[in-house]
Structure 1
Amino acid sequence: MTQLFGFGSNGNGQLGIGHLTDTNTPTPCKGIPSTETIEKITGGGNHSAIITDSGRLYMTGSSQFGEHVASSTSEPYYQQRWDHLIWKDVACGWAFTLLLSDTNLVYGVGTSKWNELDGSSTQDLVTVAPTQLKDIVSIACGWRHSLALDQSGQVYGWGCGRHGQLGPSLTAITDKKDIRTVQKIITPQPIVQIVCGHVHTLLRGKDGTVYGFGSNKYGQLGQISADHIILANSVFIDAGWHHSASLDQNGNLTMWGRKDRGQVTYRPLNNIKSVACGSEHTLAITNEGNVTAWGWNEHGNCTTDKDFIDIPITLPQTHIKIIGAGCATSWFGL
C-alpha cells in the first residue's frame, strides 16, 4: 500500500487533497483505497493521474476530460476511471491524457486541438491509432505532442511538431504549425525510454545514449551534437518544461536547461535513486529514502514560502518510495 501526499498548485483540485487551495505542506491525498500500491503518478496542466499495481486508474482535477470540459472540482479527490480495463501506464499533457492498457493499446481523452489524440477532442475514452500503435510498452506527453514506444524500441510521435519536438517529418510539412498524425520517429538504435518536455523530447537508447530534439531556447537539449546526441551512460531520464535530467548507474544526477528559477541545480547531486521533473521544479529521492526539492516554488511545490529554491532542500519525511511532479505540483508516497 502507498500513502500519498500532495503539495503545490491546487486551484483546480489537481492535488486530490479534498479542497481547492494551494499548499506548501504535504497533505494526504484522498480517494485512493488504502490497499492500493501506486506505480506511477503524473500531473498535467490542471489534472493528475495515478496507476496502481493492480492496474487501476485514479484521476482528479479540472482538465482531466479536456481544456473546456467542466468537471467535478466540487469533489477534489481521486476517483477511479474506466475500471473496465486494466492499465499499465499513464501520461498527462496540458489538457489531455494518454493511457496504456494491458493489451498494449493506447487510449486517450481530453483536448486534441493540436491532434494530441490523433483525432478530435473528446471527454470519452477513445483508442488512439490502433492499427499503428501496437505492442506499445510506454507513453509520454508534452504540452501539445505525444509519444509511444513499442516493444521493439520503435518510437512513434504525433501532435504539434512546430518546434521540431517530433523529429524530422516523414511527409511534407504544409503549415507552420506542423500538426502531425501518428508516424515513426527514426532513431539510430532501439529506444528504451521516452520523455517529453514542453516543446522538446528526450529518448534514451539501449546503450544509455540520450538523444534529443525540439526547442533548445533555454539549453534544454544541452550541448547537442549534429546527430542529436546529448550524453551517454544514462540509466534514467526526465524532462520539465524547459529543463532536463539524467541519472547514471552510480546515482549521479546531471541536469541542463533553464536556470532562472533554480530548475537546474548549481551543484552536482549524487546518491540519487529517482528523479521527477515538474514544469519548472524537480524532486529527487536519495538512496536513503529522503526527498529533495528545488526550482520554482510560487505555489509551494517545493514545500517552502520562497519564490524559488536554487539550492536543493531536504524534506523532513523519510522512507519515501515514489515521487511525481506536474505543473507546479508535487507528490510523494510512503
Structure 2
Amino acid sequence: MAEPPGTSCAKRTVSRYLTNGQRKGTPSNAVGEDEASSPQRPPRSSSRRANMAPDIAASSPLWRVPWQPSPLASKTRTRSKASKLITGAFSILPEELLGQILDLCTIEQVGMLRATCRSFANCSLMEVTAQRRCQTITRAKGMKPTAGKKETWLDLLRCLSSQPQAAAQATAVSLGAYHTAALLTHSRADPAALKLYAFGRGFHGQLGNGMYSDQAVPTPCASRDGRNYLGAHNGRPAVVSAGSNHNLLITRRGEIFAWGLSSSGELGQRDTPIDQAWPVQVPNVGPAWRTRMLSVAAGGSHTLAICETGELWACGRGRHGQLGFGSFEDVTTMRPIASLRGVRIVAAAAGEKHSLALATHGAVYSWGCGRHGQLGVPEVVHFQQNNPGVQPAMHTPQFVRALDPILMEPWDRITSVAVGLNHNAAMSVAGDIYVWGQNKHGCLGVGDTVNRVLPTKVNLLQKNVPLKRALQACSGPHRWKQPRSVQVALGAMHTLILIYTPARLMLAAAGYNGFGQLGTGAGQACQRFTPVDALSNVATACIVSGENHACAVAKNGDLYFWGRGDSGQLGLGNDFSQMTPQKLPGFQVAHPDHTLRSPYSRTCQSVR
C-alpha cells in the first residue's frame, strides 16, 4: 500500500515531539494524571508540548501502535541507572581475544598480568604466547625451558629480553679509573634536558669542561664553543665510554668525540697536546667519511670502535699488541684492523693491555698481552712456560677455540664479552658465564685464586650458601638449580653479574673488596659470587663497573654508586668511599631509547 503524501514529514514530526518530551523526563502514561491532579494550574510549555504528541500521532494515518518513548532515550535511561560496571572479567572472554590482548602487551606487561590477574595466573594461553615469542628470537633458536629448574616459557622470555635491555642501558653510563661519565637528565619526562655529565678526577681534562680540577658532583661537559651537544637532534650524545684517563662519545649522527689524556694517541688526533680538556671530534670516522660509528670502547690507553658495517677500528697504545695491527707500535689515528676484515664484529671490549672482539656468529677473538692467560689461547701459555723471562703477547687477533660456536648449540653461543685488568668474562645466550685470566683475590668467582688459561664455566651455586638463600627468597625453595645471568661487568680485580629471578634482577659480586667495590658492606674479598643485599628493594636494570667503583641503574633511571670515591667519582659531593650502594640525588640516566642500542645484547664495553 503506497504511503500518502507527507508521510516522511509526519514521521519526523512525531519523532521530534516524542524525543523532546522524553528529554524533559515526562513519560507518556503520566500526562493525563498530571492534568487531572492539578486542573486549576495551567500546564507548562514543556508539558503542553508533550501533551500534543499523542494527538498528533493519533491523527496520522501511519499510527498503528500506542505511543511509546523512543528506543534511543530508553537505552540512555537504562545505562544511566546502571550503578556498577563489570571490569577485569577476562575469564568470560574467548581465548582468541585473550591471545590478541597478550600480543599487544610488552613482555614486562605480560609478567605483570600473570602476577596480578587471577585469570592469567594459571592460564595456559600465557605460556603459549611466551613460547611463540621465544621462538621468534633468532639467537635463541631451539632453546627450551629447563624442566629440572621448574622454568616456564615466560621466565625464559623475560630473561632473554632483559639481556639486550641491560646492554642498551649500559651505553648511557661508563666508569673509568677515577672518574665517571654519563648521559643524565633531571627527569626522564623531559628528554630535551639530556646532557653529558662527568665527575671525579680531572687532572688530564677527562671531565671535558675545559678545566683540570676534580669535581665531586655531576658537571656538564661542553665543547669549546659551549654547545653542550644540544644543537641538532642527530648531534645529541647517544653512547659514552670512559677509559682509564680518557673518554669517548658517539653522537646520533655516528660521530666520535674524544677528550682526556692523549699520551699514546688514544684520542685519535694526529697532532694533539698530551691531554685535551674539551671534547674534540675524531677525524677519519663519521658521516663525512662514510663510516658511521655505532659502538665504542675506551681501554687503558687505547680505543676500539665499531662502524655500522661491522668493521673494527682502533688507535692508541700498541706496545703490547692490543691494537691488533700486527705490530707493537702506537697509532695516533683511527684505522680499521685489517686482519678482521670480512668478519662482522658486533661487540668489542678494551682492557688495560689486551682486547676482545665478538663476531656476529658468536666467535670470540683476543689479542694483546697474555701474561696471565687472559687471551684464552693455550699456545701463548706454553710459550711463556718455555721462555720464563719473556712476556707473551699477540699483535693480531686470535680465535678462542674453547668458545667455538660451531661446537655449541645456538643458545650456548657467546652474546656479550667484558674485560677487567687482566681477566675476562663472556656470557652465552642461555645466561651462562665463562671466565678466564688472572684470578687474583678470587675475581673469577670460581672459589679459588688459581688463574684460568681457558674459558671456564662458572657454577654459581656450588658451595655458595648465601647466593642459594638469596635466590630462594626471590624464587621459592628448590626453584633454580643453575640461575641464568643477564649481564656481566668487570673491574680491575672484581666481577659483577646480574642474575635473573622471577621477582627481580639480583646483583652478585666476587673479587677484591678493598674499597667496597663489591657493595656487600664488608671489606673482605669474596672468591664466590655474593649477593648485594643493599639493592634487594631496587628494580635493577643494568650494572656498570670501573676500576674500583661500580654503578647500578634502576628501571626508573635512578643511579646507585659504591666503591672507591677519593676523587669524587661517585658523584655524591664528597671524597669518601662507600661500602654499599648510595643513590645519586637529583639525576636520572638517559632512557635506552635515546642511545644507539643494538638489536642484541652485544655492545662495546670497557673496564680497566
Give yes or no for TM over 0.5.
yes
Match of 1:261 in 2: 515
Alignment check: 8 A CA contact 1:46 1:64 kept: no
Flag the 1:173–1:209 CA change in 2: closer, same or farther, 3 A.
same
Q: Which has the larger radius of gyration?
A: 2
Q: Secondary structure of 1:218's match?
A: helix
Flag the 1:193–1:327 CA change in 2: closer, same or farther, 3 A.
closer
Match of 2:279 in 1: 78
* Residue 473 (structure 2) pairs with residue 235 (structure 1): no
* Residue 322 (structure 2) pairs with residue 116 (structure 1): yes
d(CA) in 2 for partners of 1:257, 1:285: 21
Match of 2:221 in 1: 29
Q: How many residues align?
A: 328
Which of 149, 157, 162 aligns to 2:371? It is 162
Q: CA deviation at 1:105?
A: 0.9
Flag the 1:212–1:133 CA change in 2: closer, same or farther, 3 A.
farther
d(CA) in 2 for partners of 1:318, 1:150: 36
Q: Secondary structure of 1:4's match?
A: strand
- Counterpart of 2:511 in structure 1: which amino acid? G
d(CA) in 1 for partners of 2:511, 2:339: 35
- Tell me how large the CA RMSD over aligned residues is: 2.7
Q: CA deviation at 1:222?
A: 0.6
Q: Secondary structure of 1:78's match?
A: strand
Match of 1:12 in 2: 204
Flag the 1:81–1:67 CA change in 2: closer, same or farther, 3 A.
closer
Task: Identify which range, 88-97 or 149-158, moves more after superposition.
Answer: 88-97
More helix by share: 2
User: Aligned runs of 1:1-334 on 2, under 5 Å?
Assistant: 2-31=194-223, 32-34=228-230, 35=233, 36-63=235-262, 65-66=264-265, 71-72=272-273, 76-82=277-283, 83=286, 84=289, 85-118=291-324, 119=327, 120-131=329-340, 134-170=343-379, 173=383, 175=387, 176-180=390-394, 181-185=396-400, 186-187=402-403, 189-223=412-446, 228-230=456-458, 231=460, 232-249=483-500, 250-266=504-520, 267-268=532-533, 269-270=535-536, 271-303=539-571, 304-321=573-590
Flag the 1:151–1:26 CA change in 2: closer, same or farther, 3 A.
same
Q: CA deviation at 1:45?
A: 2.1
Alignment check: 8 A CA contact 1:13 1:20 kept: yes
d(CA) in 1 for partners of 2:311, 2:195: 29
- Counterpart of 1:178 in structure 2: which amino acid? P
More strand by share: 1
Alignment check: 8 A CA contact 2:499 2:507 kept: yes
Task: Identify which range, 261-270 or 277-286, moves more after superposition.
Answer: 261-270
Q: CA deviation at 1:73?
A: 6.6
Flag the 1:184–1:317 CA change in 2: closer, same or farther, 3 A.
same
Task: Identify which range, 210-219 or 70-79, moves more after superposition.
Answer: 70-79
- Counterpart of 1:115 in structure 2: which amino acid? G
Alignment check: 8 A CA contact 1:294 1:312 kept: yes
Alignment check: 8 A CA contact 1:297 1:309 kept: yes
Cα deviation digits, residues 159-214 of structure 1 (max 9, x gap): 00111111133565255422013111121641100110000001001110011001
Task: Identify which range, 142-151 or 300-309, moves more after superposition.
Answer: 300-309
Q: Secondary structure of 1:164's match?
A: coil
d(CA) in 2 for partners of 1:107, 1:282: 27
Alignment check: 8 A CA contact 1:9 1:327 kept: no
With normalisation by structure 1, the TM-score equals 0.89
- Counterpart of 2:246 in structure 1: which amino acid? H
Alignment check: 8 A CA contact 1:64 1:96 kept: no
Q: Secondary structure of 2:309's match?
A: coil
d(CA) in 2 for partners of 1:326, 1:138: 11
With normalisation by structure 2, the TM-score equals 0.50
Q: CA deviation at 1:52?
A: 2.8
Alignment check: 8 A CA contact 2:303 2:314 kept: yes
